Amino acid sequence: MGAGLVASVAPAAAAIDGLVITPRRLVTSDHSFTTGGPGTGVTLRLLQVSDLHLRTIGSLERQVLETLHDSHPDVVLFTGDMVDRRTDLWKLEIFLRECPRLPRMFAIVGNWEHWAGIPLEALARIYEQHGIELLVNRSIEFDKDGNRVRITGLDDLVGGHPDAAAALAGANPAPNHLVLAHCPKARDMLALPEQHPADLMLSGHTHGGQIAPFGVAMVLPGGSGGYVAGWYREGGPPLYVSRGLGTSLIPMRIGAAPELVRMEWSLA
């Protein structure tokens, strides 16, 4: 094959991969995390769904739903940017209707829900109809086999107004504290009350760069704060940044396959 032919074929192959193959190639990443201090032997199974940017119920969405049903998580977490447009809320309802009904399912908002002008009350009603509680600067607590767990959901850093103090007002310290913030840059300015440190933080937003040939992100959206994907353990609470599932602005992923995050959290 001549050099000229290779030069013409390679971009076409990359375009096909970026438009057709990688955006539909779901990767389910499995992780283990242990809260600091003596463990109790109790594990909480988390499943994070982030940045779906739902436009249709296609092959990727079907894979996500199948994994949701097969994973049997204790908690499902929807960490923002589920839809881009107010007119797509009916698609979100269809997707949520096919999700498993679990006792503990929580959601936060991302920048796109704000930018789309979706009223948070309307979004909360849709989630509530499907057994999901929307947390916007709010915290909830529950018990897992005698272990207290707190989940704090913050408003989006770019499109909203995160307020950790309001989210934890009047709360007593909890030994297992998970913070959900769509934009990972929120880690650098959490401003959590001293008595409520985060044990674990989950974010999305970056799409792993979305266009990241050889794993190198070409551009990151505002609110990323230099975080791209995966674990960040130094300089703050342990943070995992999901690559998310969908695409925004351009329907392409290169070197950053869609990711569904499963985590086994050993509680204190």
Residue-wise pLDDT tens for the chain (268 aa)?
A: 555 544 444 454 456 677 768 999 999 999 999 998 777 899 999 999 999 999 999 999 999 999 999 999 999 999 999 999 999 999 999 999 999 999 999 999 999 999 999 999 999 999 999 999 999 999 999 999 999 999 999 999 999 999 999 999 999 999 999 999 999 999 999 999 999 999 999 999 999 999 999 989 999 999 999 999 999 999 999 999 999 999 999 999 999 999 999 999 999 9
pTM of the model: 0.93
Could you give the angle at the alpha carbon of 174 between the alpha carbons of 242 and 130, nearest 5°?
55
Q: Which two tokens stand for residue 63?
A: 């894979």
Predicted confidence at residue 9, as pLDDT, reads 42
Predicted confidence at residue 2, as pLDDT, reads 55
Q: Which two tokens stand for residue 168?
A: 């934890």
Superfamily of segment(s) 3-266: Metallo-dependent phosphatases (3.60.21.10)
The structural domains of the chain, with segments of one domain joined by +, span 3-266
Predicted confidence at residue 208, as pLDDT, reads 98
Sheet (strand 138-144) strand order: 138-144, 147-153, 177-180, 200-203, 239-241, 230-232
